[in-house]
Structure 1
Amino acid sequence: MSGVGMLVESIENELKQVPILPSNCTIYRVPVMLRKVKPEAYTPHLVTIGPFHRNKQHLKPMEAQKLHYLKEFLDRNSQVNLVDYVNAMTDLEERARKCYSEIINLKRDEFIKMLLIDGCFILELFLRRDRWEQYRDDPLLSKTWMSRTIMRDLILLENQLPFFVLRRLKTLFNRGNTEARVTHLTYLTRTFFGEIMLHRYESFGRLFLEGIFRVARERNLIDFENLPENEEESEDESQAKKHLLDFVRHLHLPSSPMSLENHGKFECIRSATELHDAGHVKFKWGSQTCLFEITFNRQDLSIPPIKIGDWTDSLLRNFIAFEQCHSDCTKYVTAYAAFMDGLIVSSKDVELLQKNRIIDNLVGHPEKVAELFNKLVEEVTIPFDNFYFSGVCEEVKTYYEMINASSMNYHFNTSWGFLKRFLPSLLIILITLLVFV
């Protein structure tokens, strides 16, 4: 065989071995250009979920705790055994593999074991958090720093299981366990992540819901015998929550799509202090039901309040990373970050927004908040032709320019009126000086 023939055969053999990358994946590696800006925002610190970080040495200590949680989870319901859970994960193996953006080089048994252990760890953690009074001595929940770090790890883009895995495990867990059906997975997830939501109203809502369920249990107001066991959501696959990060992101999104008339070309808004000092714009405490309901009326710019804690930077960055990677996804968080980046240039802007209760600063110095927003959209592709806040930005810009134009006209007319009034006297003085000189 000639040299060319051998080369052709070699290339053909390589082509036969090329793996087929999944086309409908939802769990991604964070793009390199985003990661390099702030690597620690995307890296798990205590617990690994899924395949991407499973071999990291600093995450190994948590594996024993995962197995302990698995045992506790299995002991909760004697009507479902380990075989049932393994069979369920086996059924989902192929579908789950397709959710990851790269080929997962784990053998079948390893992959299924990972789904089971990680999924049951998450559910046991959720169940314990829901019954906090019973688990005050739990080593993961009793230490605030540890529980907060785990919470943060569970919303990292690279640290995810498909949400349908959790749903299937919870459905099995519900079998014959009537009281367990009350604590729906949606409720458990909202309860667990309530502390890191960007709105304070979520904490109130969580406590309110917990109170309702507690009273219902105590007074037998819920028909335990006729509760549905299956937690599989009725929404179609394109609308279903992809994973925990996507679930928490959806809790912040508008209940219905924002009006298309507000979408348009991206334009950076002026800083808060400039709008306030030179444009007489007033900042108002806006909607508490959605972070993105930013409106402008006359001179009032209404912005929903946002809670800034030590977890906020990582949360927003991973929201944005998901929006950057997933094409079938709205870009609300990316647009919001770009809007706030324009509004906040320095600590003075943060202080002004704090004063108007728009920013609830839990990190201390205003400089930290300013730095957070100033670096949030570095290396991020902003939707320039479909910017969700272009309508508001245009209204603010028009008002600002009108106010400044009116101010300039006022100063010009005032100065000219002054000159007209005193011009005759000035001419007389000038002529007198010229004559005597």
Structure 2
Amino acid sequence: MEMDQVVGPEERYRSRNSIFHAPAHNKYGRGSDFEPKLVSIGPYYHGRENLKTMEEVKPQCMSNLLKQHQTGASMPDDMHKICTQFMRFESYARVFYKEEFNHFSDFDFVRMLVLDSFFIIRIILSLSKTVQKSMPIIDRNIKEVRSDLLLLENQIPLFFIREVYDWLLLIPRTDSRAFPPFECVLKPFICIDMPWRINPGRMSSGAAHLLDLYWRCSSSPKINKQLSKFRRDCFQRDKPTEAVYNLPICTPKVIANATALHQVAGIKFEKSNFKLGDNECDSKLNSEGNYDGFDVIFSNGTMQMPCMTIDSSQTTLLLNLIAFENSVLPSMRTFSIYLKLMDELIDSEKDVELLQQSGVINNTLSSHEMAATFFNDIGNFCFIDYSDHFFFDLFRDVQKYYDSSWNRKWASLQQNYFSSPWAVISVFAGVTLLILAGLQTFYTIYPYYNPK
């Protein structure tokens, strides 16, 4: 495969320096969330003593895959011969890393990428149920290994993994079964335990690495297009700098929590028609245009939001996605912006309870308090530019609705007199008695002034 086919011209900037150490402010107090626990992928953690067990498994994975093909290759005898076939990608693969890693020779660098690629392919095939032969050490730890494979500092270029996979496809198998296309086997890897709904239109995009692919499949093209349109409109004005500068003045940087919005202004929360977190790929979504992602709609006092499933294993992944957005994609911070919105809406367990009752949150943690802590901790790492974040219109409209005296009076009336069925019955009974008393007074007085 030629280099022009690996990624398109619009993706080349993304490929440069796309694998790097997470920024210090993202790692502050949470450094362990960026370090692999079981397996090292790429050069950053290569050779770590606590990761050597899986390092010994990588040649086994390579041998396991080669035995399913008529290669005639044996490990480690033909390791040099196999790596030589991928040496032409060495200089291009180095471009993906922010550091140069001159202590790796060209061959050692490619050898590391080849072994890591075979290991990742073996994991991907296991999750997609494509391989039947079991490897106990992988099967026992596959969830933890997958978590390591989605760390920002634990990546190798995705195009290199694809090259190794395509090389395997060209070799006749020992049985009649052929491996599915690369995008098909990747889907289960992306979907498993996913708190968001996958965007299949991005599965074939030129992602730089696995974490980038996860971001692309989770992000909303609708948000990205509207954010780009907003930014373009700003620059088309006569004084774009002043226009952008003035936006935060009329746009609140924070909004009240969900409980206050509901009790004070009567704002309701509803689950959108689509759900994020059904843990399976939706084959009906075949194009980017049908995927709404993190889109939130506020209209007539009702905020429609996608349902997000949260569990204890997601903190590490979300922190790595936020660090990736902060460093590579500052203009497309869909994860950071959405999680910051959730942080604003959730201050306590009461907010979690309200949003769960509304279907906006599916909390699998042991308590609502833990869920509130989950969002508050994540929100501390979400740095957004309030001059152009996607929800600035939403913040403004919600604040305007919240400040309206009419909405507050109507919400107070609902809270005091229509908060429960018994309260409604009491109000109805009171109104009925008042009407009957009025009728009785009328019929008592009317004959006096209008005798027959």
Q: Say if 1:57 and 1:290 are closer, same or farther in 2 by CA, change over 3 A.
A: farther
Shift of residue 245 of structure 1? 0.3
Query: Which runs of structure 2 are paired with 1:162-241 in the superposition (5 Å)?
Result: 162-177=157-172, 183-199=180-196, 240-241=206-207
Separation (CA, whole Å) in 2 of partners of 1:80 and 1:369: 53
Shift of residue 189 of structure 1? 1.7
Q: Say if 1:166 and 1:312 are closer, same or farther in 2 by CA, change over 3 A.
A: same
Q: 1:19 corresponds to which residue?
A: none
Contact 1:34 / 1:378 at 8 angstroms: preserved in 2? no
Query: Which runs of structure 2 are paired with 1:124-163 in the superposition (5 Å)?
Result: 124-131=122-129, 134-135=132-133, 138-141=136-139, 143=140, 146-163=141-158
Q: Does 1:66 align with 2:58?
A: yes
Q: Say if 1:116 and 1:180 are closer, same or farther in 2 by CA, change over 3 A.
A: farther
Shift of residue 380 of structure 1? 4.4
Q: 2:282 corresponds to which residue?
A: none
Q: 2:209 corresponds to which residue?
A: 243
Q: Does 1:100 align with 2:86?
A: no
Separation (CA, whole Å) in 2 of partners of 1:394 and 1:369: 26
Contact 1:46 / 1:59 at 8 angstroms: preserved in 2? yes
> Which secondary structure does the structure 1 equivalent of 2:97 belong to?
coil
Letter of the aligned partner of 2:302 in structure 1?
A: D
Q: 1:347 corresponds to which residue?
A: 349
Letter of the aligned partner of 1:390 in structure 2?
A: F
How many equivalent residue pairs? 355
1:175-211: CA deviation from partner (whole Å, max 9, x where unpaired):
1558776622222222123222113x56xx99xxxxx
Separation (CA, whole Å) in 2 of partners of 1:284 and 1:23: 39
Q: Does 1:28 align with 2:14?
A: no
1:309-332: CA deviation from partner (whole Å, max 9, x where unpaired):
222111111111011111576211
Letter of the aligned partner of 2:30 in structure 1?
A: K
TM-score norm. by structure 1 comes to 0.74
Contact 1:344 / 1:370 at 8 angstroms: preserved in 2? yes
Separation (CA, whole Å) in 1 of partners of 2:206 and 2:49: 34
How much identity, in percent, do the aligned residues show?
Answer: 25
Separation (CA, whole Å) in 2 of partners of 1:323 and 1:33: 13
Moved more, 130-139 or 146-155: 130-139
Separation (CA, whole Å) in 2 of partners of 1:358 and 1:334: 18
Which of residues 244, 247, 259 is equivalent to 2:226? 259
Letter of the aligned partner of 1:50 in structure 2?
A: G
Separation (CA, whole Å) in 2 of partners of 1:361 and 1:26: 33
Shift of residue 388 of structure 1? 1.0
Shift of residue 360 of structure 1? 1.3
Q: 1:282 corresponds to which residue?
A: 268
Shift of residue 80 of structure 1? 8.2
Q: Does 1:87 align with 2:73?
A: no
Structure 1's unaligned 5+ residue stretches are: 1-21, 207-232, 412-437
> Which secondary structure does the structure 1 equivalent of 2:138 belong to?
coil
Structure 2's unaligned 5+ residue stretches are: 1-13, 232-246, 276-290, 414-452
Shift of residue 45 of structure 1? 0.6
Q: Say if 1:125 and 1:327 are closer, same or farther in 2 by CA, change over 3 A.
A: closer
Separation (CA, whole Å) in 2 of partners of 1:72 and 1:385: 53
Query: Pairwise CA RMSD of aligned residues?
Result: 3.0
